[in-house]
């Protein structure tokens, strides 16, 4: 169901974010995030002179490679378009993600390594989605490897209490408990 009808309006800013999870031939997992920001109107910019309507203000990439235990073994950032010429200088800092595990405390650990002037606001914003896509990709691989697993048997422990639906005291968990008790 779409959102309700809005008031009359004019589109001014577009942000597009795309994430993809890949299984590599070596068994590792790559998660690639791509973010662009653009305006529907031209504007002047101090470092770049002018920005034409539709031309990306931000065009940024982040690739994180994880092993099957969700530990980051490689990380790379690239900035094809930025508002300031100095922005791409921070890209090599994203290699500092190597060694972090995508799990509990991941974002806190990432902020310790890339917070403030050590990172880029826009690339940091992608990290939560990168973590989610890494989990989704890993679970896809586990499901393929273990076809016998019944997804209806309950909530995976990693998901408990992570959102409204996976509340261990909520209706979904109650339904699974009742079904298990009836078996």
Please give the average per-residue pLDDT across 163-183, as a whole number: 84
- Structural domain boundaries of the chain? 13-147, 150-183
Per-residue pLDDT, 73: 98
Tell me how far apart the alpha carbons of residues 156 and 166 are, in angstroms, rounded to a whole number.
9
Question: What is the number of residues in the chain?
Answer: 183
- Output the pTM of the full model: 0.84
| Cα angle: 56, vertex 106, 88; to 5 degrees | 30
What's the Cα-to-Cα distance from 65 to each of 33, 73, 100, 112, 132, rounded to whole Å?
12, 6, 11, 19, 13
Band the pLDDT of 145: cuts 50, 70, 90: low
* pLDDT over 90 at 174, yes or no: no
Predicted pLDDT of residue 4:
96
Distance CA 150, CA 138 (A): 17
The whole-angstrom separation of Cα 12 and Cα 171 is: 41
Q: Does the pLDDT value for residue 148 go beyond 50?
A: no
Residue 180: predicted pLDDT: 77
pLDDT attached to residue 147: 54
Contact 60, 34 (CB under 8 A): yes
Q: Give the pairing of strands 29-39 and 56-66.
A: antiparallel
pLDDT of residue 156: 72
Cα Rg, the chain, nearest whole Å:
21
pLDDT grade, residue 146 (50/70/90)?
low
The predicted pLDDT at position 161 comes to: 84
User: Which has more confidence, 39 or 141?
Assistant: 39
29-39/72-81 β-pairing: unpaired
> DSSP assignment, residue 146?
-
Q: Which CATH number fits domain 13-147: 3.30.70, 3.40.50, 1.10.3470, 3.30.390?
A: 3.30.390
Helix axes 121-145, 106-114, angle to 10 degrees: 140
pLDDT in tens, 52-107: 999 999 999 999 999 999 999 999 999 999 999 999 999 999 999 999 999 989 99
Tokens matching residue 88: 């791409």
Around Cβ 102, how many Cβ atoms within 10 Å?
26
pLDDT tens, position by position, 10-52: 999 999 999 999 999 999 999 999 999 999 999 998 888 889 9
């Amino acid at each position: 169901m779409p959102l309700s009808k809005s008031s009359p309006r004019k589109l001014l800013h577009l942000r597009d974010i795309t994430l993809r999870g890949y299984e590599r031939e070596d068994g590792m997992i790559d998660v690639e995030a791509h973010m662009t920001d653009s305006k529907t109107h031209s504007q002047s910019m101090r470092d770049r002179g002018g920005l034409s309507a539709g031309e990306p203000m931000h065009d940024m990439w982040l690739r994180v490679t994880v092993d099957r235990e969700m530990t980051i073994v490689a990380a790379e950032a690239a900035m094809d378009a930025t508002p300031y010429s100095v922005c791409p200088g921070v890209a090599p800092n994203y290699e500092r993600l190597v060694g972090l595990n995508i799990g509990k405390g991941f974002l806190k650990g990432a902020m310790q390594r890339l917070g403030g002037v050590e990172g880029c606001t826009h690339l940091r914003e992608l990290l939560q989605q990168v973590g989610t896509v890494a989990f989704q990709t890993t679970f896809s691989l586990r499901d393929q490897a273990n076809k016998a697993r019944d997804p209806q048997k309950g909530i995976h422990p990693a998901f408990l209490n992570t959102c409204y639906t996976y509340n261990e005291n909520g209706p979904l968990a109650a339904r699974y408990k009742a079904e298990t008790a009836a078996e």
